[in-house]
Amino acid sequence: MTTHSPPGEVLWEETVPGGCHWSGVLRRGVALRITDVEGGANCAMLLFNFEDKSERYNMPDTLKAQHTALLKRGHVLMTDMGRAMASIVADTHGWHDSFCGVMHDDQLQARFRTRRYQEHRNAMHRSGREGLLKELARWGLGPRDLHANVNWFSKVAADPEGNLSLDTAAWKPGASVDLRLDMHALVVLSAAMHPLDPRPAYSPGAVKLTAWRCGLAASGDFCRNFRPENQRAFINTERYFAA
């Protein structure tokens, strides 16, 4: 898959190796591109209002308001206060998981056995939950702040009996998603394997992060007008910053 250049001057870039984790603050009007470097990556993400971390991304309200069970271009990530926190302004993958969560330590142990840092250094095994908790701790947060996350680059399908599976055919090297931050946000992510990943060996993929200034959503913005509920969420965000 051919990658495309960000439509603005790059502020910074960083690659998160497979299985590792990252966190940082992104300001309103900044865009973050997440790229699946080699194909096969899963990027679990949590989002918090940086000014008041009790406000965070709300999965049920986001899906219900936009009548969807997946995330793609046009969708807005909403907070539990009904505000637009971030918008998917570009997306070459097209289907991102919104409800399967992250792999826990017991799942990791059962499938791949434990490989600790003391013996294996950077070749250790990490669960998604462990990575997110380590990053949350840097900001004075903990297990009770583990809310429902987004899994970028993971397409999950249901069979007629309701069983869920990960569609590995959807992975493509270089696939990317551009997320515009509509609020000042603490972004926490893990590049560990998806809990439904069927691969027999521990093989998480790396993700590349690229940030640039994109500006705020205009009145004709695609995400803003994707649903009437999105328009209300943007109004709530604008009132919050006007106060």
User: What pLDDT is attached to residue 5?
Assistant: 78
β-strand 185-190 against 43-49: which pairing, if any?
Answer: antiparallel
Asked whether the predicted pLDDT for residue 56 surpasses 80, the reply is yes
Asked whether the predicted pLDDT for residue 90 surpasses 50, the reply is yes
Asked whether the predicted pLDDT for residue 122 surpasses 60, the reply is no
State the average pLDDT over residues 80-105. 96
List beta partners, residue 112. none
Distance CA 44, CA 33 (A): 14
User: What pLDDT is attached to residue 2?
Assistant: 47
DSSP letter string over 29-90?
TEEEEEEESSS---EEEEEEETT-TTSBB-HHHHHHHHT-SEE-TT-EEEBTTS-EEEEEEE
Burial 76-97 (b: 16+ CB within 10 A, else e): bbbbbbebbbbbbbbbbbebbb
β-strand 21-26 against 84-91: which pairing, if any?
Answer: unpaired
pTM of the model: 0.93
Average pLDDT, whole number, for the chain?
93
Q: Residue 119's pLDDT band (boundaries 50, 70, 90)? A: very low
Instruction: Give tens-digit pLDDT for 185-218.
Output: 999 999 999 999 999 999 999 999 999 999 999 9
Q: Residue 125's pLDDT band (boundaries 50, 70, 90)? A: confident
Distance CA 152, CA 176 (A): 9
User: What pLDDT is attached to residue 124?
Assistant: 61
State the average pLDDT over residues 83-88. 98
Q: Residue 116's pLDDT band (boundaries 50, 70, 90)? A: low
The residue ranges of every structural domain in the chain are 10-241
Q: What are phi and psi of 157, to 5 degrees?
A: -120, 155
Q: Residue 120's pLDDT band (boundaries 50, 70, 90)? A: very low
| Percent of the chain residues past pLDDT 90, beyond the cut | 86
